[in-house]
Structure 1
Amino acid sequence: MKNQIKDQWNAGLYDGNHSFVSEFGNELIKFLAHEEGERILDIGCGTGDLANTLYENGVNVIGVDQSANMINQALNKYPHIPFVVKDVLSLSDKNEFDAVFSNATLHWVKEPKQALICIYNSLKPGGRFVAEFGGKGNVQTITNEIANQLKRSGVTYSAVEQFPWYFPSIGEYTTLMEEVGFHVTVALHFHRPTPLEGNDGLRNWLDMFAVEMFKHATTETKERIYASIEKNLRNTLFTNNRWIADYKRIRVVGIKD
């Protein structure tokens, strides 16, 4: 459900250099408290690793993601699981699932209330919604530096149009959940400094996740900006020979009354 970047997603780069996304998601699975035989929807399933974990635990899981590149990779890796190209805003299921699970996805959806309505409708009465995604202040050090360097380089940048994420406060998001009808049982906002793999970890992160911010930059200008970003952030985000992204996450659990 990478709402803004769509099929610019590189599934190979995602699996090769950003496996931490799924690894951190394994902790979120504990909040599902899933039972064998349950029907669970994985929204923003990416290349399918967490869906497969659920499958191996006896869950009837379906994975959806807006990116066809991600879904094709998931189908190649786990052909025994149904994966479908679909946007969370296009969900039409009614009272179908015991739980809806989403890891590192909903910050890409800039219509959060509509997404929550679709999720709520897809759940059975008493069903649960378990999600984690970027919260207020997520990667702010990185994105502020990107915006500064774009401005200094004279590259057109509109935060309204090109900032691809929705990073709400815990109060903002839980209020939306309650307006839709969820009973919120867990709501956390926490810092999670996240290691990026290799000396090119920050550059790979920019290539993977920040494409929209650079869409008006030429290849040559983008490379120059990348170098400036690395130089300016090295003292802040580079430690013990690796880059550490300044992640801040929201984790929520809601019950459909």
Structure 2
Amino acid sequence: MGLGSSNRQTDDWNAKLYDERHRFVSAYGEDLIQWLAPKEGECVLDLGCGTGDLTEQIHQLGSRVIGVDVSESMIEQAKGKFPHLDFQVAEATDLSFSEKFDAIFSNAVLHWIKDAEEALTVIYRSLKPGGRFVAEFGGKGNVETIVNTLADTMSQADSRWSKEELPWFFPSIGQYTSLMEQVGFRVTHALHFNRPTLLEDGDGIRHWLAMFAESVLEGKSETERAEIVRFVEAEVKDALFDGTNWWADYKRIRVVGMKQL
């Protein structure tokens, strides 16, 4: 569910802000649980569980579920909300499981992992033979208006800054499913679709940047950060503000892969 599994060196996640301002992440993930279709008694991994809302829903459907996230603050909040569940701090590229899970579920996480092949290799290894992998994440063109404007603004503010420093990997559907097949998955479903996403308040873009672009702004003074955010907000307003609400231009990939028996 959450956005935690990544190759970040520090924990930039604000779990309180995530729960207060970005509930849409888990709300959209509820539909993905239907694709997972967890069964009574199955062992399921929620990869990038965030603060645990979808982990709890999978548990309520009868599965034995473990939630993992790279963010200690996310896991701490998840444990406080759902103390009856098993939550662990772990990176998607460094899981210690081997053929443990009937299914691995991941919502809004895999676009944070630039080494997609390594993550898929670890996911494949963690599944039992015949197990399934069900995931949704940002695909090609995801939040393109915000990301391109942010990158241009950062380049103007610092000539040494490179777009390679952006923390996201937004693959095409062909690129990602090819990687899945390379590590052994049989891809049974794959979609790439637009999902304009309502940001919940009048400061929607500012809160989005505070939540999801913290690592990009890291190292800037408070004055510099505020100036960058104000500039990005002004530049994207015509495209993303409808006069009442802010909308993020999300484009998502949803995949299902099976581990061969």
Contact 2:155–2:162 under 8 Å retained in 1 = no
One-letter amino acid of the structure 1 residue matched with residue 205 of structure 2: L
Deviation at 1:6, TM superposition (A): 4.0
Instruction: Give the corresponding residue for 1:205.
Output: 208
Partner Cα separation in structure 1 for residue 198 and residue 258 of structure 2: 33
Structure 1 residue 217: Cα displacement? 2.5
Task: Give the secondary-structure state (helix, strand or coil) at the position aligned to 1:229.
Answer: helix
Partner SS, residue 171 of structure 1: helix
Deviations 1:121-163 (A, max 9, x none): 1111110000000001111100111112222333642222x20
Return the match for 2:53 from 49, 66, 70. Answer: 49
- State yes or no: 1:172 paired with 2:175: yes
Q: 1:195 aligns with which of 195, 198, 201?
A: 198
For residue 256 of structure 1, the aligned residue among 244, 256, 259 is 259
- Establish whether residue 9 from structure 1 lines up as the match of residue 16 from structure 2: no
The corresponding residue for 1:29 is 33
Aligned to 2:189: 186
Shift of 1:61: 0.3
Aligned to 2:43: 39
Give the structure 2 partner of residue 142 of structure 1.
146
**Structure 1 segment 75-94 matched on structure 2, within 5 A:** 75-94=79-98
Q: Distance in 1 between matches of 2:72 and 2:226?
A: 28
Conserved 8 A contact 1:157-1:213: no
- Which amino acid in structure 1 is aligned with residue 66 of structure 2? I
- Which amino acid in structure 1 is aligned with residue 36 of structure 2? L
Moved more, 232-241 or 21-30: 232-241
Q: In structure 2, what is the Cα distance between the partners aligned to 1:69 and 1:250?
A: 27
SS in structure 1 at match of 2:225: helix
Secondary structure of 1:227's aligned partner: helix
For this pair of structures, how many residues does the alignment match? 256
Q: 2:110 aligns with which of 106, 110, 117?
A: 106
Show the counterpart of 1:95: 99
Q: Counterparts of 1:209-224 in structure 2 under 5 Å? A: 209-224=212-227
Deviations 1:164-192 (A, max 9, x none): 01110000000000011000000100110
Q: CA deviation at 1:216?
A: 4.0
Change (3 A) 1:55 1:72: same
Paired residue for 1:126, among 125, 130, 139? 130
Q: TM-score, normalised by structure 2?
A: 0.95
| Residue 202 (structure 1) shift | 0.5
Distance 2:166 2:224 in 1: 19
- Runs of 4 or more consecutive aligned structure 1 residues displaced over 4 Å after TM superposition: none
Q: Distance in 1 between matches of 2:103 and 2:94?
A: 18
For normalisation by structure 1, the TM-score amounts to 0.97
1:81 to partner: Cα distance: 0.3
2-side partners of 1:183 and 1:152: how far apart?
44
Q: CA offsets per residue over residues 191-212 of structure 1, 9 Å max, x none?
A: 1001111111100000000112
Residue 190 of structure 2 aligns with an amino acid whose one-letter code is: A
Residue identity over aligned pairs, in percent, reads: 53
Amino acid at match of 2:209: L
Amino acid corresponding to residue 121 of structure 2 in structure 1: I
